[in-house]
Structure 1
């Protein structure tokens, strides 16, 4: 074996030993490798989206109990307990009712009201 080949083998062995040492240190500290830690972050984001959708459904369900409100023309967007209401209602008094109902849903921390009164066609 020539000198150049011997140096390549020594360099490769040094890199393998260094990577093994770093991996052992990370595992000993309770951490994971970069590839393994990416999966829990994705599931956490998935869980947040799932919780947001569940909260939106709870607000829709609460609105459906009030027959005087047409919840079909209202969109509910939830993000970490903050609920945004968009859309239209038939009468101005219903805006306050929709906001009040949304605030009573467990998990709702705040309500942003972007509702408006629907104008009849031709006016």
Structure 2
């Protein structure tokens, strides 16, 4: 149902932006509507240097609604001019589905292009 795509040049390096989005535990500090985030498990991504797979729970709160959901984020850091990538898949919660993709492509030493995509549908029409 709702799909959102955005591409923006940011005045931060690809590594800085990748690290910000990879820091799941800090989401409640800077994401609107995120009340809490907790990492369930973290493991290395086989065959990808520095790669990780993170299973996490998030609590979102908006007006009278408060929902918990679980996701699995696959983090693929890169070096040089290659994009750093984070793919998020839905595990459990109020959605029928949730797909989320981030890429951070270097654009000079202190800038990058952030490409963001999210597609989701709630199970309930009241959400």
Give the TM-score, by structure 2 length.
0.26
Q: By percentage of residues, which structure has more helix?
A: 1
Q: Which has the higher contact order (CA 8 A, sep 6+)?
A: 2
Larger Rg: 1
Q: By percentage of residues, which structure has more strand?
A: 2
Give the TM-score, by structure 1 length.
0.26
